[in-house]
Amino acid sequence: MHQFDNFPPVPLTLEGAALLHQMLKIKWPQWRALPHARRQEVIAEAGQALASMEGQGSAMFSLLGHKGDLMLIHFRKDFEALGLAERSLPKLALWDYLESTTSYVSVVELGLYESTLKMYSALAESNVPAHSPEWEKTIEETLGRQREAMRPRLFPEIPPAKFVCFYPMDKRRGEKKNWYQLSIEERQRQMAEHGEIGRRYAGTVRQIISGSIGFDDWEWGVDLFAEDPIVFKRLIYEMRFDEASAVYGLFGAFYIGQRQKIDELGTLLDL
């Protein structure tokens, strides 16, 4: 019998900030129909509100392509705070001239494959039954230490980089190729290989992975931040060749945006 056969195949994870991505289109005909003075009032109100939200963990991006004109990204301490942020936006007059094209809900996630394997190995050697009180206590103590050590990564600020690339993704669950039927050791090996590529881009790309299983239609969301958008293409293309992506990766729509200062809202909406 394999030493991990009596243990759950699920790797431990740490969860942090709650995330909401909002993709929006401007209703240009209705916006153009407004008198100039009224447009300025609407922009001023929205600018003040968005500036306050920016201080709480929000950012505005102008989108490239047909999928939207604006993307708002919100990082908050929990889902309650995220809900407050979302509900505050429709109260703005500007919201009457925006149309939601899609959105994405997730939570910052750090996977602990390596730590999970080490802990399971130690528990197996000690003959500790899975899900026993001793097992649960060991798990929670380990997660607690990891949570404090990784707090800056769990509750990050939105990087100030000029460009963002956001996309959702899944792991394949087909009849012939199913990520979730691989052993935990094999998944750890593939993810370690996958991570090595990302680390080579550490100086040019900031990556934030968020989990969305149970929250949205895909399993993870990926945010990449960089000064040069070409690096997104290079990084993602290189990753396509590693086994975790080439065999098991499935990807949703990609959104590319340029960071906009809140005081540039008037320029974006200028006619």
* Residues forming the active site: 167
Taking the C-alpha atoms of residue 266 and residue 271, their distance in angstroms, rounded to an integer, is 9
Strand partners, 14: 110
Taking the C-alpha atoms of residue 52 and residue 67, their distance in angstroms, rounded to an integer, is 26
Handedness of CA 117, 118, 123, 125 (dihedral sign): positive
Token pair belonging to 137: 């206590």
Token pair belonging to 221: 């969301």
CB 163 within 8 A of CB 89: no
Token pair belonging to 29: 């005909």
CB 219 within 8 A of CB 178: no
Determine the Cα angle at 182 with ends 180 and 187, to 5°: 90
Taking the C-alpha atoms of residue 199 and residue 89, their distance in angstroms, rounded to an integer, is 37
Q: Where does the chain have alpha helices with state H?
A: 28-33, 36-54, 79-88, 113-125, 133-149, 151-154, 184-200, 230-239, 243-246, 265-268
Q: How far is CA 185 from CA 71, 135, 154, 200, in A?
A: 38, 20, 25, 23
